[in-house]
Amino acid sequence: MALSDFGLSSVVGIAASAGLFLSLVSLYTISRLAYNNWFHPLAHIPGPISASASGLTYNLHMRNGTIIPWLMDLHKKYGDVVRVNPTEVSFISGDTAWQDIYGFRTGKNKTGAYLKDRSWFAKPVVKTYSLIVADEPTHSRMRRNLSHAFSDKALRDQEGIVQGFVDLLVHRLHEQVQNNVYAIDIMRWYNYTTFDIITDLTFGEPLYCLRDKDYHPWVNMVFASAKAISLLVAKRNFPIFAYYDRIKGIFCPKPDAIKQRKKFFELATQKVTNRLERETMRPDFMSYVVKSQAIEAKALTREEIDTNAVLFLVAGSETTATMLSGTTYLLLKNPAVYAKLVHEIRSRFNTQSDITFDEVNKLDYMIACLQEGLRYYPPAPTGFPRVVPQGGDTISGHYIPEGTSVYVSQYAASHSESNWTDPEAYAPERWLGDKRYKDDKRTAINPFSFGPRNCLGKNLAYAEMRLILAKVLFNFDLELVDKSADWIKQQKVFVLWEKGSLMVKLNPVQR
């Protein structure tokens, strides 16, 4: 065989080149996996070899919606701190992790703020991040402006708006019974109510879900957007998933999520324009935003108003409905707890109009039921990822190098025996001083996050969920249609819970 037969363009040359390329790729992959496992700055953090070596396992669980049971198993096996990705660590140490990661960074031993891990968030349509992802100076300015819309005074002023929608919910449920519809999907009705409330407070008019007794197209867009985050994160970390989805889309075409998201943002922007052009003294969010515009240190750009309006819609609707759905399910699975709560509500109020923001705050047992619902079934069950600042830091006694993504895994922390007595029991008494639960680490639960970036709208969420649950149980006896099914265990998680129908029987209370 002639020497020229071994040229790069020959069959032998191409085969040799391909073999060399594959060998180099294999060598690089093996060396990278070995480095991640044994020589990486996070090598001292326990975790499975598959997760420490590569992010493939983690991202597969993100795409499949099985991230919660996987994290639960890891923490049961490896303890309160687990390396779940080559550069990502999950914590469930309830008495230290929240403060270390999310708390105020003051004192000479602190290294600066843990910033949001933007790799978990889709890039904004208008290239302007909302309050939840903004950098520190921008976040501070935005929060000074928007905090007025969620103040105690604002909440009192907004009560009439919220009450109107909750009363309409009760009216619609009575209509269902009058029309001989006794079994309803209570989860949908909670969503109708919370979406109508948040859009009315944000844009000056609701989506009319309660009026039409159906989801507005925007609601499905919100659900799709939340689910898309998990898929986008996986694609960003492993481009092979993007290629797979692209090929799959040829044979199973679906609506373009990016185009839908852009259209949704454009519609929301038009709603903001309509509201801003409408002069009114109505105490909604925009009225407080407009008042703050006159102060330079608080003023927002129009793009910032738009992107935060979208944030209000997403964060202030689905999560509250999820919380109400989960608590309703847990109450109906625990008849003794349900009976005690119903007695508290119906013995305190004579008429529905007696049920107000102030009065529901006096229902100690109901507040405990909702708090236990937040522990057992947190609306955001994964975590709020932050990036360790320059120089690294110590979290829950473990040194974590700079650039690492860290968070408290909410569901795993809320169901850990290291934090709670009988964590799988739904026990409101643990929040009422019952000695059986004296060793519970109550600091392990922070469903609205913690520290300077905690949820701005948590007081509104508390007021909504208390008012809605009190009025529903004042008017109706509820019963699960399928008492044997485990509604929570059946769900997958794509950042938020992907909930199935929660069918309940309605029986109007006779007075």
Question: Which parts are annotated binding residues?
Answer: 455
Pairing between strand 398-400 and 88-91? Answer: unpaired
Contact present, 43 and 37 (Cβ < 8 Å): yes
Looking only at the bridges linking them, the beta strands covering 386-387 and 405-408 are antiparallel
User: From CA 63, how far away is CA 54, in angstroms rounded?
Assistant: 16
Amino acid at site 127 = K
Cα torsion through 18, 23, 26, 27, rounded to 10: -150
Q: How far apart are CA 163 and CA 129, in angstroms?
A: 32
Closest by CA position to 89, among listed 144, 40, 47, 147: 47
- Both tokens of 396, joined, read 């829950």
User: Residue type for 443, please?
Assistant: T
Residue carrying structure tokens 């932050």: 386
The secondary structure element, H or E, covering residue 21 is helix 11-34
Quick one: the chain helix, strand, coil %, rounded to 5? 60, 10, 35
Burial-class residue 126 by CB neighbours within 10 Å (0-12, 13-18, 19+). Answer: middle
Task: Write the burial class of residue 433 (CB in 10 Å: 0-12 exposed, 13-18 middle, 19+ buried).
Answer: exposed
Q: Name the binding residues for heme.
A: 455
CA 360 to chain centre: 25
Pairing state between β 398-400 and 405-408: unpaired
User: Three-state SS across 51-83?
Assistant: HHHCCHHHHHHHHHCCHHHHHHHHHHHHCCEEE
